[in-house]
Amino acid sequence: MKKARAVAGISAPVAIFSAALLASEKLYNFAFKRVDYVPETSADKQKYADAYYAYVDWLHRQPIQQWQLNANDEANHLVAQYVPAKTTSNRTVIISHGYKGDGETMANYAYMFHQMGYNVLLPDDRGHGQSAGKYISFGWQDRRDYLGWIDKVVRINGRHTDIILFGVSMGGATVEMMSGEDLPPQVKAIIADCGYSSIEEELAYLLKRQFHLPKYPFVPIVSFINRHRMGYYLSDVSSVEQLKHNHLPIFFIHGDKDVYVPSWMLKENYQAAKGPKQMWQVPNATHAESFWIDPAEYQRHVTAFLNHYVPDN
């Protein structure tokens, strides 16, 4: 009888742990595994669908060049679309897209910068679009991939080119993470729209908000799985830690009604950032909605920031 109780006492925790492992594996595949399509936008963004597709149609009409990195390396092959400015320009913006998107989903921002006289580079991040990769790195591996795109811009457009890094959502976090890298002098400024403070905090926040699940034990198990699959723990993926090493002018944009990447993450990022910085919290904007509420106002803010820190040569 005592032996039976002992076995039961052991088996219950084992069963709970096994269930947590299974749930964490499903969570990892749901969140980190690539998908070869762009999911539909959230219901509150459907009202912008016609405008969004008008920007995509504009992009398709442009003289797009396809750029590649690591073309002969199947596991690391990366693809981007390059849209030259209307007239020869020494200014290029590299635009980083959001979670499970691709370069094309940033057509509205491409149009804005194109109207401002910029060449535009639209990479498909690792694990997205036409680029290789089985898993999504949430900006961590991408930050190094983008160093390759920067080098390519400098090689093709010349060493006197000025480069701006711009990203939204996961892309915002990506350019924030790039800020801590050893960037070449051609990179002049960074604009980060609604980027998260760290993937660990973001995952824990969404687990609680969307699935009513606690951080423990799921986030640590997911982190362990990621260490096995991609070589690093989730705690390594931090915008905050990278921003502490930033020295470039950086402009943070964030909707004040964002419940996907909450505004307290904006505050963490802003407080951590070194170097010249500005912040614009957009009234009534939800996640990644700041542009759509008023595209002209958005462009005015971006232009004012860039005119201050990146004047025309």
- Taking residues 88-114, report their average pLDDT: 97
Give exposure, 194-228, as e/b (b: 16+ Cβ within 10 Å): bbbbbbbbbbbbebeeeeebeeeebbbbbbebbee
Q: How far apart are CA 189 and CA 232, in angstroms?
A: 28
Q: What is the pLDDT of residues 49-58, one digit of tens each?
A: 999 999 999 9
- Copy the structure tokens of residue 198: 């760290």
Q: What is the pLDDT of residues 9-35, one digit of tens each?
A: 555 565 666 888 899 999 999 999 999
Q: What is the pLDDT of residues 178-235, one digit of tens each?
A: 999 999 999 999 999 999 999 999 999 999 998 888 999 999 999 999 999 999 999 9
Q: What is the pLDDT of residue 4?
A: 47
**3-class SS shares of the chain: helix, strand, coil, % to 5:** 50, 15, 35
The secondary structure of residue 39, as a DSSP letter, is: P
Share of the chain above pLDDT 90, in %: 88
Q: How far apart are CA 296 and CA 308, in angstroms?
A: 18
Q: How far is CA 194 from CA 110, 169, 202, 291, in A?
A: 17, 5, 12, 11
Taking Cα atoms as reference points, which of 161, 149, 87, 159 lies closest to residue 121?
149
- Give the helix ranges, DSSP H, for 33-161: 49-60, 107-115, 142-157
Q: What is the pLDDT of residue 13?
A: 62
Q: What is the pLDDT of residue 7?
A: 42
Listed range (10-24, 56-70, 81-95, 293-307) with the worst mean pLDDT:
10-24
Share of the chain above pLDDT 70, in %: 94
